[in-house]
Structure 1
């Protein structure tokens, strides 16, 4: 299991990237609220995408599309992949949920 300092660094980068993408969208279309270990993206319909840390297991959990998906960091590819091997990637999954709930397209900064 990766050490806590590495996990914290990776999580901080994920939250920063997600927030930057969400902040580029009109808040009337998608509202972003970050509090500590949780980021909530809310559509005008009040549907949500929730991104939350799972520190004990060094994962990130995303709730959306009526499901909760755990993502683990894959050192080999430098990406967060779902822990069930379904081929889901964290940033793509969040973008899909946001598109479903708000119609907005998340554009992640480089």
Structure 2
């Protein structure tokens, strides 16, 4: 994948995360604060815990830091998949956010 293709897919993923945060706040009591600075989105929960999603351009990866740990994702042509075979970015982000937020949260 070229650097331009990586950036297109990675930026689209960050935009989806931001849109999911907005939707979750609008549709329920999620009380998420999301802030984007360049290639990084920080999601802050009511309990002040955070999930950080950032781009790792040299490796063409998306990294996630959550209470559950640190995770690396590569684009497989369709989805962002964990580099250790532990699932897809948005499914995992939903699980991590639900655990940290104490309520079911679905990122899509």
The TM-score, its normalising length taken from structure 2, stands at 0.88
CA distance in 2, matches of 1:28, 1:91: 17
CA RMSD of aligned residues (A): 1.6
Higher helix share: 2
Contact 2:71 2:82 in 1 (8 A): yes
Residue of structure 2 equivalent to 1:35:
37
From 48, 53, 65, the equivalent of 1:51 is 53
The 3 A distance-change label for structure 1 pair 52 and 96 is same
Q: Equivalent residue for 2:24?
A: 25
For residues 56-109 of structure 1, what are the alpha-carbon distances to aligned partners after superposition, in whole Å with 9 as ceiling and x for unaligned? 10000001133100000112xx011111123x110111111111111242352x
Per the alignment, do residues 107 and 70 of structure 1 end up closer, same or farther by CA in structure 2, a change over 3 Å counting? closer
Taking the aligned partners of 1:29 and 1:50, their CA distance within structure 2 comes to 16
Deviation at 1:25, TM superposition (A): 2.5
The 1:83/1:6 distance shift into structure 2, 3 A limit, reads same
TM-score, L = length of structure 1: 0.86
Stretches of structure 1 that go unaligned for 5 or more consecutive residues are: none
CA distance in 1, matches of 2:91, 2:20: 12
Structure 1 residue ranges, 4+ long, deviating more than 6 angstroms after superposition: none
